[in-house]
Amino acid sequence: MSDVVKLERHDDVAVVMVNSPPVNALSAAVRRGIFDNVKAANADSAVKAIVIACEGRTFIAGADITEFGKPPQSPGLSEVIAEIENCSKPVIAAIHGTALGGGLELTLGCHFRVAVKEAKLGLPEVKLGLLPGAGGTQRLPRAVGPELAVQMIVTGNPISASEALKNGLIEEIVEGPKAGAVAFAKKVVAEKRPLRVLKNDDSKLAAAKADRSIFTNAAAAANKKNRGMNAPLACAEAVSWTLDTPFDEALKKEREMFLKLVADDQSKAQRYAFFSEREAAKVQGVPESTKPRPVERVAIIGAGTMGGGIAMSFANAGIPVTLIETGEEQLKRGLGIMQKNWENTAARGGIPADAPAKRMALINGKVGLDNVKDADLIIEAVFETMAIKKEVFTAIDAHAKPGAVLASNTSYLNINDIAAVTKRPQDVLGMHFFSPANVMKLCEIVRAEKTAPDALLTAVAIARKIAKVPAVVGVCDGFVGNRMLAARSKQSEKLLFEGALPQQVDAVVTKFGLPMGPFAMGDLAGLDIGWRSRQDRGIKSEIADALCEAGRFGQKTGKGYYKYEAGSRAPIPDPEVETLIDETCKRLGLTRRAIGDQEILERMVYPMINEGARILEEKIASRPSDIDVIWLYGYGWPIYRGGPMFYADLVGLKEIADRLSFYAKQTNDPSLEPAPLLKKLADEGKTFASLKG
Ligand code: T1G
């Protein structure tokens, strides 16, 4: 008998109870347990109906992703679903938590489905670079109609139990999943209700037979939103087979398509990203017994762009915030921007209409740093100068309660120096949010020399609670993300001197899958920020400085590396910039050359990988996958390429090391020589992934 699936009897109803924490994923043991118990219950003449239910926090959340790429073990999920579907007795799925992927597909083989009102139902395979591989593309359209089905499958977004009820995916919303399902089963038996066998029910397909545009539109929308990804298009095509391909033949095509996608590098990258995100939240080097400190109230210092965005993130999660500014005017402006942001989102239907007022009610605006006294976590988001940071931390050290965690949102300043001005360096760390902080998911948690383990876990736990993706990094200039970005920026500037133009470099980077190239990004952030920083440090950057001296700060002045039409953010190549680059190169006696796209791509990506290797050597990041999580969630690295270190393993570290050596000599730039760790792994024929162990 299976130890993850048990058979219970409730009068003449058999309950197949799955208990395989944490999410009842369909491992081989779970599949075997369900198959054997359903078969046994169906053969038992005393059993009149069968319920499939789960213990723990959720119904089956899908196939066991850890089994992908390993030799398949029987029974396959499709075999289990067929066993259910072919039962002569009613089989009812009792849904709670999230019925996702193979979990929802299993319920579609059942004759009826009931769910508790908080349940969510979805087919998120596309987010793993896959398509539903156990009949979902053919049964879901027969349950809810092709229009909703293609949207659910191409986007991977779940629907609520009430939407499921409205669209015929479930029969009833019940109080407790198992008890509700048993009661429903008895009703079905008493009423002798005919079994709903989806594979034989084409009634909901008729409407779509006339209007095939729902598939072409879904595919076009997916292609627009997910440039370069294979799975969304495959999903739309598979659902369209419901219109003209017999069910059994369509299942075979679905399986072939699934096997093709699961072997594709894109899906391997997306599955890697799924687990890497969760791995990053597991802090290394802290005692097992360490627990995070409780956080009931948060204080945020600074109601500017970053402080306001951070405050919104906490309020979005229902956590009360004391938002502190130096004066009423600044506070009023910051609160106004937050209110406007929420109202715009509500107007678009992104949040309920009453959400802006509810969330504003969680924000308590105050003037004066003494207002931090009740906070369990204090996050400083003031100007990026060390002097101001030290002033603020000295003040909060005087007012904060014992045990409060003191975090700086600095994007590169030394947290050790900030901690040193307090009497409690063990409570000080960095929480580096990315702008706009209410949207971007990444939060670099900066571990300073004296940061206490429980303070660190507190920051990681609260970041996850506000739906951020935390990654723990060490103290260095730029931590991980911006330090690697700086390595890329150095090359992008050099490429202009050597012969490339901003639009060529940016086109290569966006074609690779990043949302924006380095020059358009500079125009968005404002070229004057870097210009002031270089002046502070006595550094020249001929072309960027020339642009700023000409008042070309980027989007904010209507021109930077590009020009912009009034009210538009679309970058337009500007002949004036080409002239400025030409003249600057002539003045410096530089001869420019034609540079190919491949060289540009390698000079954009490989130096970042090289910096990532140095970051690992210096233990600024503890896993290559943490570096990838930072780039996936902080900079929009395309999820289907896994992250810079995952991509490096795909290209091959020897190839990367050789190309870096070549460019180091060609451009006389020793910083491009392969980092010792990269060279060692390349020489040994190893991968960054091999460091995981
Ligand atoms: N397989 C294996 N492990 C899984 C898993 C899965 N499907 N889902 C979650 N886990 C692990 C996860 O790694 C973590 O482990 C723990 O469970 C808690 O997860 C045939 C082929 C269900 C909404 O894509 O969306 O079915 O870190 O931290 O925030 O067509 O997990 O504790 O060791 O995310 O409460 C389709 C993926 C699979 C759902 C819960 N299903 N999972 O979120 O917890 S493909 C999915 C989630 C498929 C079929 C196809 C979420 C969740 P650890 P967590 P959570």
The SS3 assignment for 125 reads helix
pLDDT recorded at residue 224: 84
Q: Is the CB of 100 under 6 A from ligand 1?
A: yes
Taking residues 202-211, report their average pLDDT: 82
Ligand 1 atom at minimum distance from 281 CA:
27
Cβ neighbours of 439 (radius 10 Å): 11
Ligand 1 centre to CA of 690 (Å) is 24
Give the model confidence (pLDDT) of 304-330 as tens digits: 989 999 999 999 999 999 999 999 999
Q: Is the CB of 134 under 6 A from ligand 1?
A: yes
Cβ neighbours of 676 (radius 10 Å): 11
Q: Is the CB of 21 under 6 A from ligand 1?
A: no
Which of the four pLDDT bands, split at 50, 70 and 90, describes residue 211?
confident
Which amino acid residue places its CA nearest to atom 52 of ligand 1? 61
Q: Is the CB of 158 under 6 A from ligand 1?
A: no
From CA 129, how far away is CA 215, in angstroms rounded? Answer: 19
26 Cβ contact list (under 8 Å, min separation 6):
60, 62, 63, 64, 77, 80, 102, 103, 106
Q: Is the pLDDT of residue 693 over 60?
A: no
The percentage of residues in the chain with a pLDDT greater than 90, rounded to a whole number, is: 91
Q: Is the CB of 23 under 6 A from ligand 1?
A: yes
Q: Is the CB of 135 under 6 A from ligand 1?
A: no
pLDDT recorded at residue 533: 82
HEC assignment per residue over 106-122: HHHHCCEEEECCCCEEE
Give the model confidence (pLDDT) of 380-400 as tens digits: 999 888 999 999 999 999 999
From CA 520, how far away is CA 528, in angstroms rounded? Answer: 14
From CA 256, how far away is CA 247, in angstroms rounded? Answer: 14
Give the model confidence (pLDDT) of 137-154 as tens digits: 999 999 999 999 999 999
Taking residues 607-614, report their average pLDDT: 98
Q: Which two tokens stand for residue 179?
A: 């008890």
Q: Is the CB of 133 under 6 A from ligand 1?
A: yes
Which of the four pLDDT bands, split at 50, 70 and 90, describes residue 226?
confident
From CA 142, how far away is CA 124, in angstroms rounded? Answer: 18
Give the model confidence (pLDDT) of 5-36 as tens digits: 999 999 999 999 999 999 999 999 999 999 99
pLDDT recorded at residue 2: 72
Which amino acid residue places its CA nearest to atom 9 of ligand 1? 23
Give the model confidence (pLDDT) of 546-601 as tens digits: 999 999 999 999 999 999 999 899 999 999 999 999 999 999 999 999 999 999 99
From CA 306, how far away is CA 476, in angstroms rounded? Answer: 21
Which amino acid residue places its CA nearest to atom 22 of ligand 1? 61
Which of the four pLDDT bands, split at 50, 70 and 90, describes residue 206?
confident
Give the model confidence (pLDDT) of 267-277 as tens digits: 999 999 999 99
Cα–Cα distances in Å, from 692 out to 32, 367, 475, 623? 32, 47, 21, 6
Ligand 1 centre to CA of 129 (Å) is 14
Q: Is the pLDDT of residue 210 over 80?
A: no
Which amino acid residue places its CA nearest to atom 30 of ligand 1? 132
Which of the four pLDDT bands, split at 50, 70 and 90, describes residue 209?
confident
pLDDT recorded at residue 567: 87
DSSP-assigned beta bridge partners for residue 172: 114
Ligand 1 centre to CA of 424 (Å) is 39
Average of per-residue pLDDT values in the chain: 95
pLDDT recorded at residue 344: 95
Q: Is the CB of 252 under 6 A from ligand 1?
A: no
- Could you give the residue numbers annotated as active site? 105, 125
From CA 96, how far away is CA 440, in angstroms rounded? Answer: 30
Residue 10 dihedral angles phi and psi, to the nearest 5°: -125, 90
pLDDT recorded at residue 1: 63
Ligand 1 atom at minimum distance from 103 CA:
26
Q: Which helix (H) or strand (E) holds 488?
A: helix 481-498
Q: Which of 456, 352, 331, 329 is nearest to 321 (CA)?
A: 331
Taking residues 519-542, report their average pLDDT: 89
Ligand 1 centre to CA of 122 (Å) is 13
Q: Residue length, the chain?
A: 693
- Identify whether the C-beta of residue 131 lies closer than 8 Å to the C-beta of residue 257: yes
Lowest mean pLDDT among 68-72, 86-90, 579-583, 597-601: 68-72
Which of the four pLDDT bands, split at 50, 70 and 90, describes residue 37?
very high
Which amino acid residue places its CA nearest to atom 28 of ligand 1? 278
DSSP-assigned beta bridge partners for residue 364: 322
Ligand 1 atom at minimum distance from 105 CA:
30
Give the model confidence (pLDDT) of 42-57 as tens digits: 999 999 999 999 999 9
